[in-house]
Structure 1
Amino acid sequence: MSIVTAVWFVVVAGFWGATNPFIKLGSKGIESIKASSPFRQFVAELWFLITNWKYLIPFVINQSGSVIYYITLASADLSLAVPITNSLTFIFTAISGHLLGERIKSKKTILGMLLVVTGVTMCVLDKVK
């Protein structure tokens, strides 16, 4: 795996993680939708989401990350692809959530984030050719 491939996985994690809090914010209000049948409920909720730009824009960016992930997997070592994207997605989610006003609950969370970044960096440096 090359360093370029690893960078693309970090980009994917950024797309996924940075959009998660925005998707959460954009979907507020969906719980108040009520319909007379399960099918109508599904359609009403789907309509709510696809007509809500606060949800739709982050969702499209998030799915763009999935397309990049799929393309990058062709030249990647799976033993690195999954840990890089999944663990760094958590980091980006926590950071973007914090920037939107969510509190990071404890210093242990910050320490854990630093350890995750350190571990991913070590794994990448070990595998990069």
Structure 2
Amino acid sequence: MGFSIANACLAIVALLWGATNPLIRKGAVGADRVKEGNVILRSLLEIKFLVLDWKYSIPFLINQSGSVLYFFTLHHTDISLAVPLTNSLTFLFTWMMGRIIGEEPVSKRTVLGMLSIIIGISLCCLDKAG
């Protein structure tokens, strides 16, 4: 796997993680309403709730497929580039999907922070490529 293919895989991982984070958060709504006295029974019922609810389980499985791709891609890329690239793009994709599904907009400071991260990661990629 070449450098550009590895970077493309990392971007796909970030997209899979970022696009599913808001969906998982939205799909988990209601799991906290499980009210059983026993902690173990409550935990099992919460897990059952989440596994049986497609609005949670499908985004979760897609998210985990991103983790599998990330694991295999790490064998072919520099970890000092892979981690910041994937995590920063994940943050950006999470924000974008959140807006698409109607979550509250972020502050101007957060947008400035995201732009700073993108610029920083772009500089890191350029440094590694050159």
TM-score, structure 1 as length reference? 0.94
Alignment match, 1:97: 98
- Tell me the matched-pair count: 129
Alpha-carbon deviations, 1:14-41, whole Å to 9, x = none?
A: 1111100000110100111011311101
Q: Quote the sequence identity (%).
A: 47
Aligned to 1:79: 80
> Which residues of structure 2 form unaligned runs of 5+?
none
> C-alpha separation between the residues in 2 aligned to 1:111 and 1:2?
29
Moved over 3 A (4+): none
Q: Distance in 2 between matches of 1:107 and 1:38?
A: 41
Q: RMSD of the alignment, in Å?
A: 1.3
Aligned partner letter, 2:90: T
Question: Residue 94 of structure 1: CA displacement?
Answer: 0.8
The one-letter amino acid of 1:76's match is T
**1:105 positional shift:** 2.9
User: Structure 1 CA distance, aligned partners of 2:119 and 2:12?
Assistant: 17
Q: Which moved more, 1:83-92 or 1:105-114?
A: 105-114
1:56 matched residue in structure 2: 57
Alignment of 1:29-48 (within 5 A): 29-48=30-49
**Deviation of 1:103 (Å):** 2.3
Distance 1:104 1:4 in 2: 33
